[in-house]
Amino acid sequence: MRTANEGTARRVLMIAGFLLLAANLRAALTSVGPVLETIRADIGLTAGEAGFIGTLPLLTFAVVSPQIPRLAGKLGTDRLLWLALALLATGIVLRSLPVTGLLWVGTVLLGAAIAAGNVLMPSLIKRDFPDHVSAATGVYTAVIGIVASTAAGVAVPMADALPGGWRTALGVWAGFVLVALAVWTPRLSRRTQRAVPEVHKGRTPWRSLLAWECAVFMALSATGFYTVLSWYPSILVSYGTTATAAGWLLFAYQIIGVVMSLVVPLLLVRLRDQRAVASTSSLLAMVGYLGLLVAPDLAVVWVLVTGIGAGALFFLALAFFSLRAADPRSSAALSGMGQSVGYLVAAVGPTLFGALHDATGGWRVPLSVLVGVAAAHALIGLRAGRDAHVEV
């Protein structure tokens, strides 16, 4: 018979594993950007090849995500997440070795591992925290944001200080993954592996209108978020902001997203559904884009407004995979579909934004497109945020 102390220990271990898993879902990606130019110069990549280092994980997400629910049904959620962590550590190490081809192999492997974590986290929340979905999702996204920002911030100092330069700066994150693996391992010893069962034949989220609404919401959220991360410093500098100030504004944008991940769940507990929060957040993002377009002298204000809207939207996009699902199995299937669509669009969005700038010679047209995207986001939020469920 399980004692109270044993039950508490299991709960603490479960929460620790959950937090460490979340902490490892972005650091391997965000640590690359600050040292990308160093990587390019060191191994002789073209600018396009260097840019593809950032795009490749997103494409891997799009390809791998739909396969994860079926694998979870066969292996069990906990076991598959353990294997994903092992694959993540392997990918990080391979990417850091002094063999140019392994840079690409490691990036694909770590992208596949992160895709598994991305897809299964909403299902894990639905399973382990069924009465606290919004709060658990908020903590999950906040941890991701904090560690992602930290990884980006320390990348250059570590590359300068550690032997091995950028390779070591990227490789050290494998140690953080090993800590998560150690904490996650006891979950594999349980007699009953709580798996996400395979999707029933003939029933798929790809045929559900609500699932498509959630997927489009995710796609628009990810597109806006990654476009801002990619291009806002360049936009701000072109409008007269110093490069240092632009960097700090981008940091503030990300930190605001973390704060919103903790604030929005407090709002949701008072509401019957999420339509009002989804549409209002989209409109805030639209005001931020529009403000930068018509009054760039107030860039600080508009970046902060955009950060509030975009931070809430990214939280909601992830939360919908739990909130709109009838059970953990459906959550995994919905998450696999939504993240496949979302990250495929996100991989293309920043590239198209840059192409529009090149074609028009300025930022007015690209920013106008972002305004239109935010308006569409508000409309789809009224659909994805309603109190309904996908069941597969």
Convert the pLDDT of each residue in 56-115 to its tens digit: 998 999 999 999 999 998 999 999 999 999 999 999 999 999 998 999 999 999 999 999
Cite the DSSP H helix spans in the chain.
Answer: 4-23, 27-30, 36-43, 47-64, 68-75, 77-96, 100-128, 133-161, 166-171, 173-184, 209-238, 243-268, 275-294, 299-323, 328-360, 364-384
pLDDT at residue 242 in the model: 83
Instruction: Please name which of 217, 270, 240 lies closest in space to residue 378, comparing C-alpha atoms.
Output: 217
Q: What is the pLDDT of residues 248-278, one digit of tens each?
A: 888 888 889 889 989 999 888 888 899 999 9
What's the gap between Cα 122 and its chain centre? 12
pLDDT at residue 192 in the model: 43
Residue 217 burial (10 A CB sphere; 0-12, 13-18, 19+):
buried
Q: If you average pLDDT over every residue of the chain, what do you get?
A: 88
**Helix (H/G/I), strand (E/B), else coil: 112:** helix
> Which residue bears the tokens 């106008």?
368
Consecutive H or E run containing 325: none
Instruction: Please name which of 206, 210, 148, 143 lies closest in space to residue 336, comparing C-alpha atoms.
Output: 206
Which DSSP state fits 390?
Answer: B
Joined together, the tokens standing for residue 144 give 């991701």
How far apart, in Å, are the Cα atoms of 6 and each of 1, 18, 130, 305? 10, 18, 21, 46
What is the reported pTM? Answer: 0.85
pLDDT at residue 7 in the model: 65
Contact 86, 29 (CB under 8 A): no
pLDDT at residue 204 in the model: 84
Q: What is the pLDDT of residues 310-333, one digit of tens each?
A: 999 999 999 999 999 988 889 989
Q: What is the pLDDT of residues 188-209, one digit of tens each?
A: 875 444 444 444 445 788 999 9
